[in-house]
Amino acid sequence: MHIGVVLGLSFAALHVVQRVLEYRRAVASVGDFPGARVLLSPASVISGLLSRFLYSCCPALAAGFDPFEKVGWDASTTVSFYPTTSIIVEVADPAAIKEIVTHRARFPKPLEWYGVLKLFGTNVVTTEGNEWKKHRKVAAPAFTEKNYRMVWDETARIMQDLLDNEWKRAPEIQVNNAIDLAVPITLYIIASAGFGHRISWAEEKNIPTGHTMTFKESIHIVSTKVFYKLITPRWILGYTESLRRLRDAFDDFDKYMFEMIEARRSKEMKEERADLFTNLLQATEAESDAKLTDRELAGNIFIFLLAGHETTAHTLCFCLAYLALYPHVQDRLYEEIKSVLSGSDSLPAYEDMGRLPYMMACFYETLRLVPPVLSIPKVSGEDQSLAISNIAGEKRLMPLPKGTHISINTAALHRNPRFWSEPNEFKPERFLGDWPRDAFIPFSHGARSCIGRRFAETEAIVILSMLLAHYRVSVTDEPRFAHETFEQRKERVLSNKPGITTTPVRVPLTFTRY
């Protein structure tokens, strides 16, 4: 045999032996805790391509709690063999999750995974330690009771404009995809409540000097195409018209933000404003030890845009889909709305929010079944262990070597049968009494939980109450789906795909006026 072939086979055999030894050490390092032992790393390109054929929706949602049920514990380990040995610990145990988010120094977030969220600058989401504390201290004053009232009023104004001027109180409105309704609504709300830009449903046509598109156009492209911008080198962005438009949108949005910063600092803009941008700017100027640079201000505004726009829009789509699929829930919701609103044309007041518990329950149940973020990444900052439970109440310590990647599996936690009866069913009433708060984390958990939670809840309640006070929503009848079963229709309407947040594919709805 040729000496080259012998050497090649020897090196290959040595490589395989090294891989096997490394793999066995990895399994032993987590105490051989049960889980998946796979050939390909879940992070590999090949594995990612295969998952697109194996799942009709986001893999974590498709799997739900099933992988943990098979393992028998509320945590699972995935150890891969190739191209490198990797360990991923998935956790769906409320007590373990609480320990992870409480002890942030022991379980820091892997900041390298958050590159997509700092395109415009570092911010309250993409920082850790003292840097995060600085961002949080400045951002917190922008989220107050006064501002939530402003969000409520602006949302009511935008919805009134939709009903009166866009839909013109028509007896029936068909929407091919509810995302085309929800995205503009939440976009207009964040533009007004976040940036002080009031946008009506009438198309904005005037492009300011120095820009290539309107503020509305730039903010929409930025929020929906952020991944494309992240993976596309700058030099490629001039090759086609669509790529140039993508480049121009990000450039224009960046310019708009810095123009607003300068405008609010000028003498002409010193009058009091209630939008979040102004409050954020005032907070950083008032702080002596926690000032943000203009680039950091822009980074935080981008995060508020994303959380206050895309996340809420997607959840509203799924919520409307569930209400269309379950008319008895919608009937009960309609009765609650009518008991709060005094007349057919009356607007909900901010004080009414607490009088709509079933509305909030429907919103929460949607977030439970379709959480916007399916996985919250953490890293073990030291050699340690974590107590994990099973359905029998037994405990087992899982070793966590330093550097182990940990995933808080929101989708599995929200369907853990130890805490949720009939976990795969849409039952909003479960949120009307006592419910397991540590097993519900759509806005994350602990000190790092979403600062804009109340913002999202406020706008969602106004949008749903004003829509459903006047229109009954149903899944649009389409001839090609005439013979599908209820389960088939449910799967179709709730189909989703990965994005920055869980994204609906197509939700065709018909709104029929009462």
For 414-440, what is each residue's pLDDT tens digit?
A: 999 999 999 999 999 999 999 999 999
CA 478 to chain centroid, in Å, comes to 30
Q: Which of 185, 273, 175 is nearest to 509 (CA)?
A: 175
CA R_g for the chain = 25
May I ask the CATH architecture of the domain 93-196+273-397+430-435+449-513?
Answer: Orthogonal Bundle (1.10)
What burial letters (b/e) apply to 357-373, b meaning 16+ CB within 10 Å? ebbbbbbbbbbbbbbbb
Structure tokens at 412: 């599995």
Q: Can you tell me the mean pLDDT for 448-453?
A: 86
Kindly state the tokens that stand for 130. Answer: 């003292």
Number of CB atoms found within 10 A of residue 53's CB: 7
Residue 52 confidence (pLDDT): 43
Backbone angles phi, psi at 127, to 5 degrees: -125, 165
Indicate if the alpha-carbon torsion angle 303, 309, 312, 315 is positive or negative: negative
pLDDT at position 272 is: 55
Torsion angle (degrees, nearest 10) of CA 422, 425, 428, 431: 30
As given in the structure block, the two tokens for residue 234 are 């700058």
Which residue carries 């063999």 as its tokens? 81
Task: Strands of 180-275 (E only): list them.
Answer: none
Residue 140: which H helix or E strand, with range?
none
Q: How confident is the model at residue 42 (pLDDT cuts 50, 70, 90)?
A: low
Cα angle 414, 415, 416; round to 5: 100
Judged against a pLDDT cut of 80, whether residue 398 lies above it is answered with yes
35: left (phi over 0), alpha (psi -120 to 50) or beta: left
Residue 85 is predicted with a pLDDT of 79
Phi-psi category of residue 393: left, alpha or beta, with phi > 0 → left and psi -120 to 50 → alpha: left
193: left (phi over 0), alpha (psi -120 to 50) or beta: alpha
The per-residue pLDDT for 96 is 96
Interatomic CA distance for residues 217 and 195, integer angstroms: 14
Task: Characterize the bridge pairing of strands 172-175 and 405-409.
Answer: unpaired
* pLDDT over 80 at 478, yes or no: yes
Tell me how long the chain is: 514
Q: Is 389's pLDDT higher than 90?
A: yes
State the DSSP string of 392-403: TS-EEEEEE-TT
* Per-residue pLDDT, 336: 96
Residue 468 has pLDDT above 80, yes or no: yes
| 3-state secondary structure at position 377 | strand
Helices and strands counted in the chain (H then E): 20, 12
Residue type, 383: D
Contact (Cβ atoms closer than 8 angstroms) between residue 303 and residue 142: no
- Cα torsion angle, 252, 463, 353, 318, sign: negative
Rounded to a whole number, what is the distance in angstroms from the first to the last CA of the chain? Answer: 85
Residue in this structure with the two tokens 């010193």, named with its chain if needed: 270
pLDDT at 216: 79
Global pTM reads 0.89
In this prediction, residues 438-455 reach a mean pLDDT of 90
Is residue 396 a contact partner of residue 91, using CB atoms and an 8 Å limit?
Answer: no
Residue appearing with tokens 């700092």: 118
The pLDDT value given to residue 50: 43
* DSSP single-letter state for residue 482: T
Burial of 228 (0-12, 13-18, 19+ CB in 10 A): middle
The C-alpha atoms of residue 351 and residue 60 are separated, in whole angstroms, by 38
Instruction: Tell me how far apart the alpha carbons of residues 59 and 88 are, in angstroms, rounded to a whole number.
Output: 15
49 pLDDT higher than 50: no
Phi and psi angles of residue 126, each rounded to the nearest 5 degrees, phi first: -100, 15
Per-residue pLDDT, averaged over 190-201, amounts to 79
Please state the rounded mean pLDDT for residues 465-471.
96
For the ranges 244-258, 342-356, 406-420, the lowest mean pLDDT is seen at: 342-356
pLDDT digits (tens, 9 = 90+) for 99-147: 999 998 899 988 887 777 888 888 888 888 888 888 888 888 778 888 8
User: Could you tell me what percent of the chain has a pLDDT over 70?
Assistant: 93
Name the token pair of 120: 């415009």
* CA-CA-CA-CA dihedral for 48, 52, 56, 60, to nearest 10: 0
Flag whether pLDDT at 381 surpasses 50. yes
Closest CA to 322 of 494, 170, 87, 127: 494
| pLDDT score of 345 | 65
Q: Chain-wide mean pLDDT for the chain?
A: 86
Query: Which pLDDT belongs to residue 53?
Result: 42
pLDDT at 57: 61
pLDDT, tens digit, 9 for 90 and up, residues 81-96: 877 778 899 999 999 9
* Band (73; pLDDT cuts 50, 70, 90): very high
pLDDT of residue 203: 61
Q: What is the mean pLDDT of residues 204-211?
A: 81
CA distances from 448 to 267, 327, 377, 404 (A): 36, 37, 12, 20
